[in-house]
Amino acid sequence: MEGAGALAVKDAGMSKRAAPPRVWGARAALAAFALDQANKLWLIYFYHLGLRQPVRLTPFLDLILAKNSGISYSLLSAHGAVGRWSLFALAIAATALLALWLWHTGTRASALGLGLIIGGALGNACDRLFHGYVADFYHFHLGGFSWYVFNLADVAICAGVALLLLEPLIKPAKDFS
């Protein structure tokens, strides 16, 4: 009788098998997207950063509200509906390709990296869809040096790219020769 009970638990999906990499990537995408959107909503609508800016957090970090109508570093600024929808479509197409890559990836590190990139891209795409621009907040500066203004979606994208680039150095590919 004990064996039948154990079998029922195993059949109910309660085995201790590790989740496939794509599940880890989906979790990372959801977390990156949710954190980015929650941060943006809080800073814009509850903290009213636009009315308080700049907010000096440290001698080298300020909070400001920058409305980026382009892509990275405000390249390809899209003023108008055609540009806005073109950049939105580009973001969705890139995200779909990344999701396809995620579905087929075999390692947890690649899946986490792809998930972070997907979550960040979707966070910025939502801004573009609902506001017509991407809201950026964090401004690093030191002396005469000023880094571009970014948001948590950008942090997720950069961390994801770093994971993808560093994975081969951490765990070299198997030799198939």
Looking at the annotation, which residues are catalytic? Answer: 136, 154
CB 119 within 8 A of CB 7: no
Q: Give SS3 for 60.
A: coil
CB 159 within 8 A of CB 98: no
Neighbours of 64 (CB within 10 A): 16
Question: Measuring CA to CA, which residue among 39, 36, 15 is closest to residue 115?
Answer: 36
> What single string gives the DSSP state of each residue in 76-96?
T---SHHHHHHHHHHHHHHHH
The length of the chain is 177
